[in-house]
C-alpha cells in the first residue's frame, strides 16, 4: 500500500494540501470571520492541520533508527513532502492573521499580540520560507551540505519547539482542550524518540570504534 503513487512524492503532498484546503473551507463555512473571535478560531484550526506534519518530519529519522522497517522508510522517503505539507498548512495561519489585522486590528493589538510578537512571528515566516525554498533542488544546490543541514536542523527544532510549547501552555491552562493535550503529549513523545535515537546512534558509533 505504501508503494502506491498517490502516497509518495508530490502526489502525497497534493493529497495532504487538498485535505487541508477542504478542512479550512469547511472551517470557514462553519465558523466564518464575522467576529475577531471566530477568526482566531480559524487561525488555531490552521495550526491544528499543520502541526501533525512537523511532528512527523521531526521524528522521522528517529523512527528509522529505532524502528527500521517499511513504515519508517516510507516516512524517510517522503520527509521532504511532509515538511512541505507543514509549510502549506502553516501558510493558512498567515492568511487568517492578515484577515484579523485587516478587519479587526484593534483586537489583534489589544487582545492577542504586541509589536514584539509580530516581529517574532515574521521571523518565523522568514525561516519557514527559507526551509521551503531550500527543499527544492535548484536552490539546495547553491548551499553546501553543511549549510543546508544546519539550516534544516535549526528549522525543524525551532518549529517543533514552537508548536510543542504553544500546545503545552494551552494544555496546562484552565481553558485546556483535548486537542491541546493530545498535541502536547505527541510533541513530548517525538522529543523522547529523538533523544532515544541519538543515544542509540552514539552507542552504535562507540561499539564500532571499540571493534
Is the pLDDT higher at 69 or at 117? 69
> All 3 cell numbers of residue 92?
493558512
pLDDT computed for residue 51 by the predictor:
95
Is the pLDDT higher at 108 or at 21? 21
Q: What DSSP line would sit under the chain, residue for residue?
A: -TT-GGGSHHHHHHHHHHHHHHHHHHHHHHH-SSSHHHHHHHHHHHHHHHHHHHHHHHHHHHHHHHS-SHHHHHHHHTHHHHHHHHHHHHHHHHHHHHHHHHH-HHHIIIII--HHHHHHHHHHHHHHHHHHHTTSHHHHTTS-HHHHHHHHHHHHHHHHHHHHHHHHHHHTSTT--HHHHHHHHHHHHHHHHHHHHHHHHHHHHHHHHH-
At residue 175, φ and ψ (nearest 5 deg) are: -100, 25
Residues 31-79 pLDDT 10s: 999 999 999 999 999 999 999 999 999 999 999 999 999 999 999 999 9
Q: What pLDDT band is residue 208 in, cutting at 50, 70 and 90?
A: low
Q: What pLDDT band is residue 194 in, cutting at 50, 70 and 90?
A: very high
Mean of pLDDT over the chain: 90
Amino acid at each position: 500500500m505504501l508503494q502506491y503513487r498517490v502516497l509518495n512524492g508530490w502526489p502525497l503532498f497534493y493529497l495532504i494540501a487538498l485535505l487541508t484546503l477542504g478542512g479550512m473551507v469547511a472551517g470557514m463555512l462553519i465558523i466564518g470571520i464575522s467576529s475577531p473571535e471566530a477568526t482566531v478560531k480559524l487561525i488555531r484550526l490552521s495550526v491544528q492541520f499543520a502541526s501533525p506534519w512537523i511532528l512527523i518530519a521531526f521524528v522521522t529519522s528517529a523512527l528509522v533508527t529505532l524502528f527500521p522497517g517499511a513504515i519508517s522508510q516510507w516516512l524517510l522517503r517522503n520527509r521532504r513532502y511532509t515538511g512541505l505539507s507543514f509549510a502549506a498548512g502553516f501558510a493558512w495561519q498567515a492568511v487568517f492573521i492578515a484577515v484579523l489585522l485587516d478587519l479587526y486590528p484593534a483586537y489583534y493589538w489589544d487582545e492577542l499580540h504586541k509589536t514584539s510578537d509580530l516581529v517574532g512571528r515574521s521571523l518565523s515566516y522568514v525561516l519557514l520560507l527559507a526551509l521551503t525554498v531550500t527543499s527544492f533542488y535548484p536552490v539546495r544546490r547553491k548551499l553546501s551540505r553543511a549549510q543546508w543541514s544546519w539550516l534544516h536542523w535549526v528549522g525543524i527544532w525551532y518549529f517543533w519547539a514552537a508548536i510543542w510549547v504553544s500546545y503545552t501552555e494551552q494544555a496546562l491552562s484552565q481553558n485546556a482542550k483535548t486537542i491541546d493535550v493530545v498535541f502536547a503529549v505527541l510533541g513530548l513523545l517525538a522529543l523522547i524518540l529523538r533523544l532515544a535515537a541519538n543515544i542509540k546512534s552514539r552507542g552504535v558509533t562507540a561499539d564500532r570504534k571499540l571493534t
